[in-house]
């Protein structure tokens, strides 16, 4: 597999000293508790693939499409590694290599979709477009950041995000919202040492 | 890998708590050290009984078992150098009891340090060790490593907070060690033996920890120095003056530059700064201690001394200090911060000399090293800043590490203050403890005759840390 985009991040992957301080900020990790779902684990996997120590698989690829781009890991990284930018580039390399997984990216139920295009206009990541020839909504999985705006705006209930982590959609949503309400991006230690 | 019956393990611990995909094994083979080695399987217990059952399965089959907390260790303690089962304790994370009357807490090993303190704060008590990694570090990992942190000068290391614990032995037996009382003279202090044993003697499945009142007043001060030597001399004078302080931290110019670069904190661009703190229940008492420290710093040419009782201001500085280790990777392009010679303890009287010696050794060996640490407790940290792509830099680092620890021993210091031994500090540890290694091996043999508990660490680790495992960094041809 050609990692043409993530090659440029090789130095950043060395700068990550694997301290794991990104753990506390990642709500996906908070839910599953497996290190492979945490930003550090994903960076380790990219390093391994880039240096031929581990091979891409659907299991690995799915990890990188499971991210809500809250960017708390970026903000909490003491070494300043642009973690989600790296994830976006590795997604693009995976798509180029022919991998097709959904992760948390949004989908459209074509049977329910009225092709009104509202989801296209509300998508601030320009991940959705209307394929006029085939008369359907097309989703760019590399660009989709799983923000849920399309799902919230869709009048026909056609846009949706796949359930995951052994949780129903409502339970997942509740967990994520509660986690995001817990604190801001400031290190939580600051509350304790006061 | 053929040694482990995955289906059997799933039966013991539940299929949802077993991972054997190569991706998971690759991730769990790494921590915050320079080492990497793949386990055969990762399991995640939720109960003591599950831990016992895994041990009863693994022990007679001679399958290594490596307990893992957050994987934030810097010396490779959780890296499965001999393969085997990694036992991930993140889901065994319940706070079992907060006993304010008898001033202790009982916790499962996967409880995160900061989470515990968040739960304690409404009761105006805290668990004091506070390592820099407290946001993710688990209690089990802290105990196994005998961690400490910024407040260790007043409140001690983790060992000073541990009253007792429950431990699963290699054969699956559950034992209770220590007590719930502040003192005990009830035979061998086995809880002390478990502290710092790095998972080689037993698996900690519950801990009883001392809690103390949160002081009403804390004052943080910062003194600047144009000479590292002056800062070092201030440390030894402060510590020999009987001052009751709660923190004394050194940061040299390399550490200051890195933190400013990575976090834009605006720390002063001087050769060294000292951060000092005193705490107490009466402001007057805190002021007295702080004034004594200021007088000493001024006498040693410290200047521009700032003080703050403001919690938000203090939090900003604390956060900068706690993020120092990762920030060091930003010091120079293409350099990384390798956890090597990362921690040591030296006598107070040698602090100034040690800080200077670190820089001398670095220069002689073509690497960059920084001097910082919880100097109030005698703890000096450094890291090796190097280009990990260059094979020659690893040889340079190896020489520098050897020289650093030779020097530390020569002045009566010791190999680790709080980061533990694991793999990368094992060669220095074995030189320092040469006449007690056999005693340690006898203890290990008695408690773990099949050598299944985190084998290949401490006295049994390889003599060359560079080749002990695959390095987590890949050296590249053509870069010299």
C-alpha span between B117 and B137 (Å, rounded): 12
- Cβ atoms of B443 and B461 within 8 Å: the answer is no
C-alpha span between B174 and B199 (Å, rounded): 15
- Cβ atoms of B221 and B172 within 8 Å: the answer is no
Mark yes or no for CB contact B326/A191 under 8 Å.
no
* Residues of chain A with a CB closer than 8 angstroms to some CB in chain B: 11, 14-21, 23-24, 33-36, 41, 44-45, 47-48, 51, 53-55, 57, 59-60, 63, 77-80, 166, 186-194
pLDDT the model gives residue A181: 63
- Residues pairing with B19 in the sheet: B42
C-alpha span between B51 and B59 (Å, rounded): 12
pLDDT the model gives residue A194: 33
Distances (CA, A) of B342 to A192, B348, B397: 26, 18, 12
Q: Is the pLDDT of residue A182 over 80?
A: no
- Cβ atoms of B178 and B452 within 8 Å: the answer is no
Q: Is the pLDDT of residue A188 over 60?
A: no
C-alpha span between B237 and B243 (Å, rounded): 10
pLDDT the model gives residue A178: 64
Averaged pLDDT for residues A138-157: 90
Sheet arrangement for strand B303-308: B303-308, B217-225, B272-280, B247-252, B372-373, B379-381, B343-345
Task: Tell me which residue in A45, A63, A189 faces B114 most closely, judged by beta carbons.
Answer: A189
Could you tell me which CATH number the domain at A106-160 has? 3.30.70.20
Average pLDDT value over all residues in chain B: 94
Q: What are phi and psi of B444, to 5 degrees?
A: -60, -45
Q: Is the pLDDT of residue A34 over 90?
A: yes
C-alpha span between B457 and B76 (Å, rounded): 9
User: What is the nearest CA distance from B89 to chain A, expressed in angstroms?
Assistant: 10
pLDDT the model gives residue A147: 83
- Cβ atoms of B355 and B371 within 8 Å: the answer is yes
CB < 8 Å to B319, chain A: 186-187, 189-190
Q: How many C-alpha atoms does B52 have within 13 Å on its Cβ side?
A: 9
Q: What are phi and psi of B206, to 5 degrees?
A: -160, 145
Q: Is the pLDDT of residue B299 over 50?
A: yes
Show the DSSP H helices in B264-369 as ranges. 283-299, 311-322, 324-327, 351-364
Helix or strand run (H / E) with residue A114: none
Average pLDDT value over all residues in chain A: 86
Task: Tell me which residue in B70, B325, B336 faces A15 most closely, judged by beta carbons.
Answer: B336
pLDDT the model gives residue A177: 66
pLDDT the model gives residue A148: 82
User: What is the nearest CA distance from A186 to chain B, expressed in angstroms?
Assistant: 9
Locate B19 and state its tokens.
Answer: 């991972």
Number of separate helices (H) and strands (E) present in chain A: 10, 4
pLDDT the model gives residue A185: 45
C-alpha span between A147 and B102 (Å, rounded): 48
Mark yes or no for CB contact A192/B114 under 8 Å.
yes
pLDDT the model gives residue B24: 98
Task: Tell me which residue in A59, A78, A186 faces B23 most closely, judged by beta carbons.
Answer: A59
- Residues pairing with B86 in the sheet: B42, B66
B15 touches chain A (CB under 8 A): no
**What band does B23 get if pLDDT is binned at 50, 70 and 90?**
very high
Q: Is the pLDDT of residue B43 over 80?
A: yes
Could you tell me which CATH number the domain at A6-104 has? 1.10.1060.10
**pLDDT digit string, tens, across residues B109-130:** 999 999 999 999 999 999 999 8
**What band does A190 get if pLDDT is binned at 50, 70 and 90?**
very low
Q: How many C-alpha atoms does B220 have within 13 Å on its Cβ side?
A: 19
Please indicate whether the domains covering A6-104 and A106-160 agree at the CATH topology level: no
Q: Is the pLDDT of residue B411 over 70?
A: yes
User: CA nearest B377: which of B137, B131, B134, B199?
Assistant: B131
**pLDDT digit string, tens, across residues A104-118:** 899 999 999 999 999
**What band does B480 get if pLDDT is binned at 50, 70 and 90?**
very low
Averaged pLDDT for residues B81-100: 97
- Cβ atoms of B41 and B25 within 8 Å: the answer is yes
- Chain A residue closest in CA terms to B388: A14
C-alpha span between B182 and B186 (Å, rounded): 12
pLDDT the model gives residue B317: 77
User: CA nearest B258: which of B179, B333, B201?
Assistant: B333
**pLDDT digit string, tens, across residues A16-26:** 999 999 988 88
CB < 8 Å to A190, chain B: 315-316, 318-319
Mark yes or no for CB contact A14/B388 under 8 Å.
yes
**What band does A170 get if pLDDT is binned at 50, 70 and 90?**
low
Mark yes or no for CB contact A33/B314 under 8 Å.
no
pLDDT the model gives residue A24: 82
Cβ-based burial of B435 (10 A; exposed 0-12, middle 13-18, buried ≥19)? exposed
pLDDT the model gives residue A124: 87
**pLDDT digit string, tens, across residues A68-113:** 888 889 988 888 899 999 999 999 999 999 999 989 899 999 999 9
Sorted by where each starts, the structural domains of chain B and their CATH numbers stand as 95-213 (3.30.465.10), 217-327 (3.30.70.2190)
Q: Is the pLDDT of residue B452 over 80?
A: yes
Pairing of strands B85-88, B65-68: parallel
**pLDDT digit string, tens, across residues B427-450:** 999 999 999 999 999 999 999 999
User: What is the nearest CA distance from B24 to chain A, expressed in angstroms?
Assistant: 6
- What is the dihedral angle through the alpha carbons of A7, A12, A15, A20, rounded to the nearest 10 degrees? -100
Interface of B with A in 328-367 (CB under 8 A): 328-330, 333-334, 336-337, 339
Strand segments (E) across B214-302: 217-225, 247-252, 272-280
Share of chain A above pLDDT 90, in %: 60
Domains of chain A, residue spans: 6-104, 106-160
- Chain B residue closest in CA terms to A40: B27
C-alpha span between B152 and B174 (Å, rounded): 31
C-alpha span between B75 and B68 (Å, rounded): 13
pLDDT the model gives residue A30: 87
User: What is the nearest CA distance from B395 to chain A, expressed in angstroms?
Assistant: 18
**pLDDT digit string, tens, across residues B329-385:** 888 888 899 999 999 999 999 998 999 999 999 999 999 999 999 999 999 999 999
Q: Is the pLDDT of residue A180 over 70?
A: no
User: What is the nearest CA distance from A194 to chain B, expressed in angstroms?
Assistant: 5
Averaged pLDDT for residues B53-82: 97
- Chain B residue closest in CA terms to A41: B27
Helix or strand run (H / E) with residue A170: helix A169-182
Averaged pLDDT for residues B72-76: 96
**pLDDT digit string, tens, across residues B258-284:** 888 887 778 899 999 999 999 999 999
pLDDT the model gives residue A151: 87
Averaged pLDDT for residues B202-226: 96
C-alpha span between B374 and B372 (Å, rounded): 7
- Cβ atoms of B109 and B213 within 8 Å: the answer is no
């Amino acid at each position: 597999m050609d990692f043409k985009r993530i090659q440029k991040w090789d130095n950043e992957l060395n700068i990550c000293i694997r301290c794991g301080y990104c753990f506390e900020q990642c709500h996906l990790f908070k839910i599953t508790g497996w290190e492979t779902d945490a930003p550090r684990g994903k960076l380790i996997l990219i390093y391994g693939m880039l240096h031929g120590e581990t091979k891409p698989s659907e299991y690995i690829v799915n990890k990188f499409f499971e991210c809500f781009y809250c960017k708390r890991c970026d903000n909490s990284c003491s070494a300043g590694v642009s973690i989600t930018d790296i994830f976006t580039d590795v997604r693009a390399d995976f798509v180029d290599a022919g991998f097709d997984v959904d992760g948390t990216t949004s989908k459209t139920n074509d049977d329910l979709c009225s092709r009104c295009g509202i989801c296209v206009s509300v998508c601030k990541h320009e991940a959705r477009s209307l394929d006029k020839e085939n008369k359907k909504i097309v989703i760019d999985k590399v660009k989709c950041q799983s923000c849920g705006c399309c799902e919230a705006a869709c009048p026909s209930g056609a846009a949706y995000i796949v359930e995951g982590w052994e949780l129903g959609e409502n339970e997942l949503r509740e967990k994520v919202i509660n986690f995001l309400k817990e604190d801001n991006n400031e290190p939580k230690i600051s509350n304790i040492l006061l | 890998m053929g040694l482990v019956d995955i289906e059997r393990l799933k039966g013991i611990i539940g299929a949802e708590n077993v991972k054997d995909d190569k991706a998971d094994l690759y991730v769990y083979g790494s921590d915050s050290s320079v080492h990497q080695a793949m386990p055969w399987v990762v399991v995640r217990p939720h109960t003591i009984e599950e831990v016992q059952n895994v041990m009863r399965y693994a022990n007679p089959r001679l399958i290594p078992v490596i307990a893992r907390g957050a994987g934030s260790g810097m010396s490779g303690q959780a890296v499965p150098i001999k393969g085997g089962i990694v036992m991930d304790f993140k889901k065994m994370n319940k706070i079992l009891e907060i006993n304010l009357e008898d001033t202790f807490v009982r916790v499962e090993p996967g409880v995160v340090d900061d989470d515990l303190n968040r739960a304690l704060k409404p009761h105006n008590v805290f668990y004091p060790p506070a390592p820099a990694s407290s946001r993710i570090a688990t209690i089990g990992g802290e105990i196994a490593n005998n961690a400490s942190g910024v407040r260790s000068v007043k409140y001690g290391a983790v060992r000073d907070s541990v009253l007792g614990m429950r431990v699963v032995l290699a054969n699956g037996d559950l034992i209770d060690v220590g007590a719930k009382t502040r003192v005990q003279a009830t035979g061998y202090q086995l809880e002390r033996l478990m502290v710092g044993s790095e998972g080689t003697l037993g698996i900690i499945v519950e801990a009883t920890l001392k809690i103390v009142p949160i002081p009403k007043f804390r004052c943080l001060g910062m003194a600047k120095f144009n000479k590292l030597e002056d800062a070092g001399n201030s440390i030894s004078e402060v510590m020999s003056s009987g001052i009751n302080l709660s923190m004394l931290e050194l940061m040299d110019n390399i550490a200051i530059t890195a933190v400013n670069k990575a976090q834009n904190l605006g720390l002063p661009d001087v050769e060294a700064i000292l951060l000092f703190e005193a705490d107490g229940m009466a402001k007057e008492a805190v002021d007295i201690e702080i004034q004594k420290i200021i007088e000493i710093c001024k006498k040693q040419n410290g200047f521009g001394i700032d003080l703050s009782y403001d919690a938000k201001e203090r939090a900003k500085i604390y956060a900068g200090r706690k993020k120092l280790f990762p920030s060091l990777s930003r010091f120079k392009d293409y350099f990384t911060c390798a956890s090597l010679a990362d921690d040591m303890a030296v006598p107070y009287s040698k602090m100034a000399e040690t800080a200077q010696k670190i820089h001398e050794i670095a220069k002689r060996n073509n690497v960059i090293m920084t001097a910082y640490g919880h100097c109030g407790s005698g703890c000096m940290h450094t890291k090796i800043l190097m280009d990990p792509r260059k094979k020659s830099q690893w040889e340079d680092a190896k020489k520098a590490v050897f020289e650093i620890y030779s020097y530390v021993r020569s002045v009566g210091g010791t190999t680790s203050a709080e980061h533990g031994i694991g793999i990368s500090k094992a060669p220095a540890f074995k030189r320092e403890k040469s006449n007690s290694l056999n005693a340690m091996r006898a203890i290990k043999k008695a408690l773990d005759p099949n050598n299944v508990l985190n084998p290949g660490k401490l006295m049994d680790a390889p003599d060359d840390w560079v080749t002990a495992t695959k390095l987590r960094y890949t050296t590249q041809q053509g870069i010299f």
